[in-house]
């Protein structure tokens, strides 16, 4: 058994502040850090939030409190032309492009116009059954964040996706539940869907992270799991990799001090590069699971282990007694486990104190 390579997603999100040149710089930083993919958010602000929709507390703290959520989103929206330029730049830099759609129009653009093979669905859309039904019918791989959700809600979302992936007709709650009774549906879900543990708070506290929920979802559904990290620093993301996360997503920004909803809860380019390096080190440390010495350990065994040695000068023909034997380095002779078998045996040659017993 070997450790699968973790897919590392650098979450640019809306940290471009609606500026194409800044989005390009974010791609450059993600590529230079060694991330596998850089992710943005695709939405039409007037389809995403009503005029009276309030901001979250963390958004109010980092933006103009008098500005509505709709006004904020309008500033952060990327056009279809922007998306095409960003995809082209990702190709130039050798990094994958990924995005989260918040409406079917944006999903259509990502799948049809840009031809993305994989779509990320954010935690806020986990209960958006029409959008899940749409994305499930598109034949793409899906990374599904599960922030704020119960296990039952995750199962319900999988029912919608499975129904769509199986080509079901006549969508309904009952039909979604029935879809999960089909082995063929589970086969396609396990092949195309990854579930992400996530805490929808910015920044999230370590004690609210609940990495063991990855284990619960993996055991309940048999799907690959990952972790979308909103905590400060990189420690929790590294712990998730050690715990079996197949995908890690982390928000990053050019400058945490910039005004905007997500900058303060993101890491900067240097920390992103450090995260990628450390994830690869953690992967390497996991090994194959077989308990055996590393090649580098072999030469040390005879140095640090002990052997049976003469506790005092002994003559040839002497019959060994317990007090004649000491346990000392090096480990080139009889190992300590043979002590009891050596007591009562006769020496063929003389030994000086400290000699390894022959």
Neighbours of 328 (CB within 10 A): 16
Q: Please say whether the beta carbons of 267 and 275 come within 8 A.
A: yes
Burial class (CB in 10 A: 0-12, 13-18, 19+), 259: exposed
Start-to-end CA span in the chain (Å): 41
Angstrom distances, CA of residue 171 to CA of 52, 121, 175, 267 = 31, 20, 6, 41
Domains, the chain, ranges and CATH?
A: 7-286 (3.20.20.70), 295-342 (no CATH)
pLDDT above 70 for 106 = yes
C-alpha atoms less than 13 angstroms from C-alpha of 88 in its C-beta half-sphere: 8
Euclidean distance between CA atoms 200 and 220, whole angstroms = 22
C-alpha R_g of the chain = 29
What are the tens digits of pLDDT across the range 201-237?
999 999 999 999 999 999 999 999 999 999 999 999 9
pTM of the model: 0.90
pLDDT band at 3 (very low <50, low <70, confident <90, very high): low
pLDDT level of residue 64 (50, 70, 90 thresholds): confident
pLDDT, tens digit, for every residue of 11-35?
Answer: 999 999 999 999 999 999 999 999 9
Q: Count Cβ atoms below 10 Å from residue 134 Cβ, excluding itself.
A: 18
pLDDT value for 269: 97
Q: Give residue 4's pLDDT.
A: 79
Residue whose pair of structure tokens reads 């409406």 in the numeric block:
103
Q: Residue 63's pLDDT is what?
A: 85
pLDDT, the chain, mean: 95
């Amino acid at each position: 058994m070997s450790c699968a390579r973790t897919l590392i997603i650098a979450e640019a999100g809306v940290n471009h502040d609606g500026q194409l040149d800044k989005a390009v710089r974010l791609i450059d930083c993600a590529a230079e850090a060694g991330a596998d993919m850089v992710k943005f958010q695709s939405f039409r602000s007037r389809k995403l939030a009503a005029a009276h929709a309030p901001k979250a507390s963390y958004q109010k703290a980092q933006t103009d409190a008098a500005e509505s959520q709709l006004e904020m989103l309008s500033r952060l929206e990327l056009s279809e032309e922007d998306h095409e330029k960003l995809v082209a730049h990702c190709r130039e830099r050798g990094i994958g492009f990924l995005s989260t759609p918040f409406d079917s129009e944006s999903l259509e653009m990502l799948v049809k116009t840009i031809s993305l093979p994989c779509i990320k669905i954010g935690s806020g859309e986990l209960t958006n059954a029409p959008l899940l039904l749409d994305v499930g019918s598109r034949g793409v791989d899906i990374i599904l964040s599960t922030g704020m959700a119960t296990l039952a809600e995750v199962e319900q979302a999988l029912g919608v996706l499975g129904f769509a992936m199986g080509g079901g007709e006549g969508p309904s709650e009952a039909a979604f539940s029935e879809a999960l009774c089909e082995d063929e549906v589970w086969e396609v879900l396990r092949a195309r869907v990854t579930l992400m543990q996530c805490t929808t708070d910015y920044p999230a506290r370590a004690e609210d992270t609940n990495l063991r929920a990855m284990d619960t979802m993996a055991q309940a559904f048999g799907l690959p799991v990952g972790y979308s990290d909103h905590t400060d620093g990189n420690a929790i993301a590294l712990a998730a990799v050690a715990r079996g996360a197949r995908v890690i997503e982390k928000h990053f920004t050019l400058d945490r001090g910039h005004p905007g909803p997500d900058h303060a809860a993101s890491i900067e380019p240097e920390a992103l590069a450090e995260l990628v390096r450390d994830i690869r080190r953690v992967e390497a440390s996991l090994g194959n699971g077989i308990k055996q010495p590393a090649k580098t350990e072999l030469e040390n065994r005879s140095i640090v282990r002990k052997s049976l040695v003469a506790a005092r000068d002994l003559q040839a023909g002497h019959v060994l007694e317990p007090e004649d034997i000491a346990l000392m380095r090096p480990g080139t002779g009889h190992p300590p486990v043979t002590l009891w078998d050596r007591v009562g045996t006769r020496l063929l040659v003389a030994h000086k104190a400290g000699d390894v017993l022959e």
